[in-house]
Amino acid sequence: MLQGHSDRSLLCDYMMSCIIDMMLFVFLVKDSTPDADETQTAAQETAEAGAIQEDRNDKGKDKDEKDKEKTKEKSKEKDKDEKDKEPDKEKAREKEAERKGEGDKEKAKGVEGTNLDSLLQRLPGCVSRDLIDQLTVEFCYLNSKSSRKKLVRALFNVPRTSLELLPYYSRMVATLSTCMKDVSSMLLQLLEEEFNFLINKKDQMNIETKIRNIRFIGELCKFRIAPPGLVFSCLKACLDDFSHHNIDVACNLLETCGRFLYRSPETTIRMANMLEILMRLKNVKNLDPRHITLVENAYYLCKPPERSARVSKIRPPLHQYIRKLLFSDLDKSSLEHVLRQLRKLPWSECEAYLLKCFMKVHRGKYGQIHLIASLTACLSRYHDDFSVAVVDEVLEEIRVGLELNDYGMQQRRIAHMRFLGELYNYELVDSSVIFDTLYLILVFGHGTSEVWMPF
């Protein structure tokens, strides 16, 4: 029995303890529930806040992405706009460059026009080969189509009285024609048209214009710019109506380029035929003396009369050496050398020829006559007779010149008078001889009653 009572008491105790534990557990659960609720609510709030924040972040990211996309789209649109605007900008730049280029071209044209005008104004002053060549080179730096036209017009409008400019103008055209073919062709066309107009006009006015035209064509022919066919056609047109101004035109053409065409192998036969026709017309036509002289001068200028060649003298070597010493080697520095060489000569053989050469002082230079007188004075120390013979020959030559009074001997007479004066300076003649010679020159040929014969 006791054992059963004890089991029951144990069971009751156990149950009571369980009940107490349950009550404590309930109490504890009740106490812990608000904290759990609070923690749960806090967790929920934090979760909700995190979700909101995530939503916000997602929205921010979406906005950022959208903004980025918008900026990208805007940048793409800007790029497209810029690409679309680039051709416009390039066109605008090209237009500005063209405007600047046109402005520069206009300025360059203005400067070029000024330089060209000044260059053309210098044309009439080019009266030498160096000047016209320099002007030609300067024109090459101003080369343009309009400049070439202006140059051709300036060359064509050469003054009709300035015929001396035509050879230099033709030289300029010939130089430029090597690289500017249109210059010569334009000028030839203008000259040919002017010739046809003047030849068909048949008036007897302004012969200077006709002569200028035909001489210009002739000068261009000599530079091989004008073809020979053009020259022959102009000459034939003048010969077909051989009268008045046509005679002058034909003669001027022959004087300009007739000999050139006659001496050229390809045109010699045709020019010879033209010259024969010219002489026949002269003989048939009843020309005035002036035209006859013009025709003959033109003919003989193209085809001079044939004559035998001049035969040169054959001199012995000794005589050639003497002439070389006196007329070639003699000067201030070689005076002593020439004197020594003359002293070495065999005087018995060459004294007469030496005297003859000393009398030909007019063959040498006028400024070297005093050197011949100095040689005479030096040789007189060794050959007295030679100086006396020289003085006698000089006085005789002066008298012969007075008696003949030939204009062709003018230079010779002046040289002998100078030689006599230099002989006086070297004391080979006395002053009385000088005064007697002067008196002879004054009274000779005047039929005076008092005739003084000094020698």
Task: Output Rg (C-alpha) for the chain, integer angstroms.
Answer: 61
The ranges of the chain annotated as CATH 1.25.40.180 are 129-302, 317-443
Residue type, 33: T
CA-wise closest residue to 416 among 390, 440, 387: 390
Q: Which of 26-35, 69-78, 197-206, 273-282 has the lowest mean pLDDT?
A: 26-35
**Measured CA angle at 83 (ends 80, 87), to 5 deg:** 145
Give all strands (DSSP E) within 29-125, no chain letters: none
Report the distance separating Cα 410 and Cα 357, nearest Å.
Answer: 19
Q: Which pair of structure tokens corresponds to residue 430? A: 């006395």
Q: What integer is the mean pLDDT of 32-48?
A: 49
pTM exceeds 0.85 for this model: no
Q: What is the pLDDT of residue 44?
A: 55
CA-wise closest residue to 195 among 216, 210, 215, 173: 210
H-helix or E-strand spanning residue 147: helix 145-156
Report the distance separating Cα 273 and Cα 258, nearest Å.
Answer: 12
Q: Which of 101-105, 207-211, 261-265, 327-331 has the lowest mean pLDDT?
A: 101-105
| pLDDT tens-digit series, residues 179-202 | 998 999 999 999 999 999 999 887
CATH 2.60.40.2550 fits 317-443, yes or no: no
Q: What is the pLDDT of residue 305?
A: 86
Q: Which residues have CB under 8 Å from 51's CB, separation 6+?
A: none
- CATH class of segment(s) 129-302: mainly alpha
Q: What is the pLDDT of residue 386?
A: 93
Residue 387 has pLDDT above 80, yes or no: yes
* Burial (CB count <10 Å: 0-12, 13-18, 19+), residue 1: exposed
Higher pLDDT, 263 or 203: 263
Report the distance separating Cα 1 and Cα 318, nearest Å.
Answer: 202
| pLDDT tens-digit series, residues 284-307 | 988 999 999 999 999 999 998 887
pLDDT-derived band at 9, boundaries 50, 70, 90: low
| pLDDT tens-digit series, residues 233-289 | 999 999 999 988 999 999 999 999 999 999 999 999 999 999 999 999 999 988 999
DSSP 163: G
Residue type, 336: E
Find tokens 């404590």 and name the residue: 24
Q: What is the pLDDT of residue 310?
A: 77
Residue 223 in 3-state DSSP?
coil
Q: Which of 49-53, 83-87, 274-278 has the lowest mean pLDDT?
A: 49-53
Q: Which of 61-65, 122-126, 345-349, 440-444 has the lowest mean pLDDT?
A: 61-65
Residue 43 has pLDDT above 90, yes or no: no
Q: What is the pLDDT of residue 209?
A: 92
Q: What is the pLDDT of residue 154?
A: 94
Residue type, 201: K
CA-wise closest residue to 426 among 357, 364, 376, 391: 376
| pLDDT tens-digit series, residues 144-192 | 999 999 999 999 999 988 999 999 999 999 999 999 989 999 999 999 9
How high is the mean pLDDT of the chain?
83
| pLDDT tens-digit series, residues 397-440 | 999 999 998 888 999 999 999 999 999 999 999 999 999 999 99
Q: What is the pLDDT of residue 455?
A: 47
